[in-house]
């Protein structure tokens, strides 16, 4: 199949959305599918307000439409609700192409944290974006909530983890504060990092990631080790060296980093919210509690071997098979429905 994947989130960003999309695209290509990636690096960009590390494409539906017409996709998937996503949505409708979308991020909540935008208004806009899609893929952690918010045509799309990269490793024996508590992710207000950094626990706290709140947190928490953004072997080694992975976010729709920590044999401590509530099994691969400190203390007692075993079913191959099954396949030109112009 010829599959077009449109996303506003792409390298050099480091986050679960980019990881999911890049691993899915790579797996599709390895299986012999031809993949067209329409990403911000094809266009002029502007920095995102309040988050300049994210670049927003200056793009028109016509520009995306030309790429689609030249590629002649069997399936189009629009992964994000940013400028590229809206342009691709419009282009597909004008060309008469069925398409699918995916819901990765709680943009209404993130927007409300930065601007006085009422939550119902934010969800109305996001719901409008997804309504024309043949299917909206979402992590199984969030399907019921989206259904309750009247999102139509929902289909589950789970996640994977590279268990060859993220694996238990020999932990350093040199004298240093123990235990080590680590958190990984975007360093931004929606990740609720102070809930972790304010914990009164013995040991050392690590934060791995970059984002707009990094400079302020470094200033306010001089006793915490901030590593900046890491990836690949360096990230996996740091994760495996920790005793507990602390996940203070209350807004993530899944939490891919939870799988990565568990694959390294590191138990998770988190609030009982979407994502952790689906992935964490009490006493087996982590602990949940409204009191994050209590979850951290209990997680120290969890067997690291059972953490690793709990992610065995989460492969990128299984994730990609589910993605392909959810796609809306368009007839090829000359078949029942060729590309055509159609009003939005």
Residue 142: give its domain's CATH number.
3.40.50.2000
Dig out the tokens for 210 from the structure: 């970059």
Residue 221 in domain: yes
* 170, part of any domain: no
Is residue 342 in a domain? Answer: no
C-alpha closest to that of 272 among 156, 150, 141, 167: 141
Q: Are residues 127 and 230 in the same domain?
A: no
| Segment 48-57, tens digit of pLDDT | 877 777 889 9
Q: Are residues 154 and 211 in the same domain?
A: no
**Global confidence as pTM:** 0.89
Neighbours of 211 (CB within 10 A): 22
Q: Is residue 344 part of a domain?
A: no
Angle (deg, nearest 10), helices 61-71 and 83-95: 60
Residues 142 and 270 both lie in one domain: no
How far apart (Å, rounded) are the C-alpha atoms in residues 240 and 184? 12
The residues with which 208 forms a beta bridge, in sequence order, are 184, 228
Write down the pLDDT at residue 109: 83
Let me know whether 140 and 253 are in one domain: no
Nearest CA among 260, 83, 29 for reference residue 166: 260
φ, ψ (nearest 5 deg) of residue 181: -110, 130
Q: Within a domain: residue 173?
A: no
Residue numbers of the domain that contains 281: 180-314
Whether residues 145 and 25 share a domain: the answer is yes
Q: At what angle do helices 16-30 and 316-326 cross, to 10 degrees?
A: 80
295 and 247 inside one domain: yes
Instruction: pLDDT band for 91, please (50, 70, 90 cuts).
Output: very high
> Looking at per-residue confidence, does 74 or 175 come out higher?
74
CA distance 73 to 138: 22
Total of domains in the chain: 2
Q: Are residues 230 and 283 in the same domain?
A: yes
Residues 151 and 188 in one domain: no
Q: Residue 336: what pLDDT?
A: 45
Q: What tens digit of pLDDT does each residue of 100-139 get?
A: 999 998 878 877 777 788 888 989 999 999 999 999 999 9
Q: Does 184 lie in the same domain as 147? A: no
Least confident of 109-113, 202-206, 254-258: 109-113
């Amino acid at each position: 199949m010829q599959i077009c994947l449109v996303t506003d989130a792409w390298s050099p960003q480091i986050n679960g959305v980019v990881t999911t999309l890049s691993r899915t695209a790579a797996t599709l290509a390895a299986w012999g599918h031809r993949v067209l990636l329409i990403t911000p690096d094809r266009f002029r960009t502007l920095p995102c307000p309040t988050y300049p590390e994210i670049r927003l494409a200056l793009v028109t539906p016509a520009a995306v439409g030309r790429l689609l017409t030249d590629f002649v996709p069997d399936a189009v998937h629009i992964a994000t609700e940013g400028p590229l996503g809206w342009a691709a949505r419009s282009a597909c409708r004008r060309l008469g192409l069925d398409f699918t979308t995916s819901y990765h991020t709680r943009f209404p909540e993130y927007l409300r944290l930065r601007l006085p935008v009422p939550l119902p208004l934010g969800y109305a806009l996001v719901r409008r974006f997804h309504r024309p899609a043949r299917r909206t893929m979402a992590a199984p952690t969030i399907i019921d909530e989206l259904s309750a918010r009247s999102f139509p045509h929902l289909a589950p799309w789970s996640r994977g983890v590279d268990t060859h990269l993220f694996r238990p490793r020999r932990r350093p024996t040199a004298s240093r504060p123990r235990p080590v508590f680590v958190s990984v992710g975007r360093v931004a207000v929606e990740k609720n990092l102070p809930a972790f950094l304010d914990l009164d626990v013995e040991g050392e706290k690590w934060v791995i990631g970059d984002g707009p709140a990094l400079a302020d947190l470094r200033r306010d928490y001089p006793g915490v080790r901030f590593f900046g953004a890491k990836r690949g072997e360096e990230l996996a080694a740091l994760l495996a060296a920790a005793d507990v992975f602390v996940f203070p976010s209350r807004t993530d729709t899944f939490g891919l980093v939870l799988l990565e920590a568990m694959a390294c044999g590191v138990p998770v401590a988190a609030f009982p919210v979407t994502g952790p509530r689906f992935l964490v099994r009490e006493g087996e691969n982590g602990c949940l509690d409204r009191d994050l400190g209590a979850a951290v203390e209990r997680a120290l007692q969890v067997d690291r071997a059972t953490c690793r075993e709990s992610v065995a079913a989460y492969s990128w191959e299984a994730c990609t098979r589910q993605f392909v099954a959810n796609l809306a396949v368009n007839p090829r030109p000359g078949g029942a429905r060729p590309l055509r112009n159609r009003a939005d």
